[in-house]
């Protein structure tokens, strides 16, 4: 079932692809990178619908722009966990890894821009006895 607001796009399963995984915070993205022209899809939605902001488009296109392969590849991604920002960075890392798998000469280009560097920072857990937050101290009583 599809409605006019969220058209679900069918994915191609018979083409050859390169598989890669990217992670950021609590988000995980698994992509299949295809050669040729096509529309990139995330979780069954067109990428423009899933990440509607212009800054998001610049971020997920950065690996293609860096390697000079803007209209030569497209991808299908499954993302889960985290928020939209973490998912976007996970997709970007996965695309960079897939491009490096395809051609080793892309590796130094992507590394110099920082697209192959994993950002391992995650949210700090809640500490017991801190008054509900991870870094705050308990308020002392007034006397």
Q: Domain ranges for the chain, please list them.
A: 18-113
CB distance 9 to 39 below 8 Å: yes
**Using CA atoms, how far apart are residues 112 and 124, in angstroms rounded to an integer?**
29
pTM for the full model? 0.82
- pLDDT digits 0-9 by tens, 52-108: 999 999 999 999 999 999 999 999 999 999 999 999 999 999 999 999 999 999 999
Q: Domain 18-113's class?
A: alpha beta
Burial of 97 (0-12, 13-18, 19+ CB in 10 A): buried
Residues 6+ apart with CB under 8 A from 129: 138
Please state, for a pLDDT cut of 90, what percent of the chain lies above it.
Answer: 69
């Amino acid at each position: 079932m599809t409605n006019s607001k969220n058209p679900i796009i069918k994915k191609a399963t018979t083409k050859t692809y390169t598989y890669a995984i990217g992670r950021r915070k609590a988000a995980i993205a698994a992509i299949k990178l295809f050669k040729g022209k096509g529309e990139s899809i995330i979780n069954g939605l067109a990428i423009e619908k899933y990440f509607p902001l212009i800054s998001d488009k610049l971020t997920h296109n950065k690996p293609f722009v860096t390697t000079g392969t803007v209209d030569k590849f497209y991808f299908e991604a499954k993302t889960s966990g985290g928020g939209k920002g973490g998912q976007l960075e996970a997709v970007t890392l996965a695309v960079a890894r897939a491009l490096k798998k395809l051609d080793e000469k892309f590796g130094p280009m992507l590394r110099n821009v920082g697209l192959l560097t994993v950002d391992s920072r995650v949210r700090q857990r809640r500490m017991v006895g801190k008054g509900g937050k991870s870094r705050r101290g308990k308020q002392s009583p007034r006397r």
